[in-house]
Structure 1
Amino acid sequence: MSRYKFAIIGCGRISYKHVEAIANNRKEGQLVAVCDIVLENAINKANEYKKLCPEDELPKVYTDYKAMIANEEIHIVTVATESGYHAEISIDCMNKGLNIICEKPIALSIKDADRMIECANKNNVKLCVSHQNRFNTSIQKLRSAVEHNKFGRILNGTARILWNRNMDYYKQAPWRGTWELDGGTLMNQCIHNIDLLQWMLGGEVESVYSQCDTFMRDIDGEDFGAVLVRFKNGAIGIIEGSACVYPKNLKETLDIFGEKGTVSIGGLAVNKVDVWRFEEVEDEGDTSKELEKDPDTVYGFGHTPLFKDVIEAVKENREPYVNGVEGRKAMSIILAAYKSRLTGMPVSFPMDEFSTIDMKAKF
């Protein structure tokens, strides 16, 4: 196959990164259709792509995704709708034999995430969750250090997301901050860094305890969350996530501490190495303050390589770098944090079925 045909479902805030990623992979991919229940949004995305790839046809525009997948030849669908619709739309597409790139979070319940993973396996299609920061140069360097045991025993790590999301942000899209379609700051803003933390600390969770509150924003979910995660290998993860930092975003950092090493990643989208210290001296010298140009937004640089990886996964019939099983992990930690908030107690893993909607009766 010369070029894989893409479609986008959901043409809101993040969708421009999907358009950009497809355009940047134009040698192997082409955007052929876009869909949004707001026609103007879909038209705008089709025109954005045409400006980036004038040699390609203008993508077809739809307001009904079921009509789109029934009428168009498509190989890969990106799902960038409200989070609460990810599972239903992705499953409908996978049952048509289509590969999926799903925006974070994979879903809003354990059950729905498992249904998506099972559906991908049943239909022999690829399911990728868009945790694009895993592809950052800084994060890949850190991951290599973990895999080569440069830290020795990893003791603990911290993920801090100190941002500002005012009420205008939530009013722009009323689904944001709701239990039905989103969750709070942990699920919406913090999930990328939580994914990186669990990836570096071992992934297998023993227990989660949280203290969360809604201090300033008129939303269902939390606008601040503090979470302790104990991993089965003994490491402890600390998460601090806020949408209330005055008057604007402050920073996002990921710190990993081991018996033989310390690394701190910062930058606008965890894209710069601020501290790089290991017992073992590296041939390339001191890599602290490694420069990687800041991206234009907190979305970072990772969508283009993530889309490239999915194209290659389809071509080679292998799992994507961030498959459904990987995408489920950070979501599960956040759902456990919500359950801990509800019960006031630590939550042990494996966790029974739980969803954001289970929070609605009390919060």
Structure 2
Amino acid sequence: MAHAFPFSAIVGQEEMKRALMITAIDPSIGGVLAFGDRGTGKSTAVRALAGLLPEIAVVDGCPYNCAPDRINPDCPHCKAQDHHTVAQRPTPVIDLPLGATEDRVVGALDLERALTKGEKAFEPGLLARAHRGFLYIDEVNLLEDYLVDLLLDVAASGENVVEREGLSVRHPARFVLVGSGNPEEGELRPQLLDRFGLSVEIASPKVVADRIEVIRRRDAYERDRAAFLATWAEAEAAEQARITTARDLLPEVIVPDALLVHVAELCLALGADGLRGELTLMRAARALAALDGAREVTDHHLREVAPSALRHRLRRDPLDEAGSTTRVTRAMDTVLA
């Protein structure tokens, strides 16, 4: 991750970059789903985000990323120690491969300790490593059903519970879920789709100059990685500072009642199911305001995030052939006129 392509060097794809940054500011938004053409920088952007995320304070040596001020009382590592040393650790950005086994994802019996020492010990899985960070799934629409069911359970409860081989382990597993994929290869299950707070549409650049700039930057990165990273170091530091400042400002950002009215009217106009759309839209607009350094959310912020927050929550209308983004835009023009 230390040598990932710089986030600030990515050409275009502003909606995707904005969505990733505001979920880094407020993880309660619920994650990002990026669907679009192959080779458009979806994976690059997610892995580049790791370079912008501030470090987190953890109990030194804890594989579950326990926060020093909120230690899990059931943590096998922390409860065995009388004193806890605080350490700083990069915010985890963990890849979940499509072919991962259930044991690798949730954790399993540590066979090495069982065979060499005769001890029953738990070996944490990917969910433990992703706690307090990001869990990234490329080609998420091709994920096996049993892994989808598992992720839905953990996303709903915020905990990973493992009961097997005489082991009983329960640990927090709260993370920002990020998925990417090509819609031509299959749709996402509705239950999992609903768990993503934001959905962004990715397309290949249509402007010749943009395509040329993508080629130039990627070629420069691959030919002399150290020099390219040095060139973009200042821009990366500035983006990291924006995220850190926005996190500090977020609790002070005001959401006026008039804006909440617009949020509710917009979701009603679009026929969005449930209230998750309203909550996500409000949180995303507030996080964007914090990113912009504003202390009050305005209709401008609402317009910027509404397509991402609502396009994947719309029911299909057989009488309306317009795409979901167009339907959201039309509703905004009416509600926010």
Taking structure 1 as the reference length, the TM-score comes to 0.25
Which has the higher Rg, Structure 1 or Structure 2? 2
- Which structure dedicates a bigger proportion of its chain to strand? 1
- Which structure dedicates a bigger proportion of its chain to helix? 2
- Of structures 1 and 2, the one with the larger relative CO (CA 8 A, separation 6+) is 2
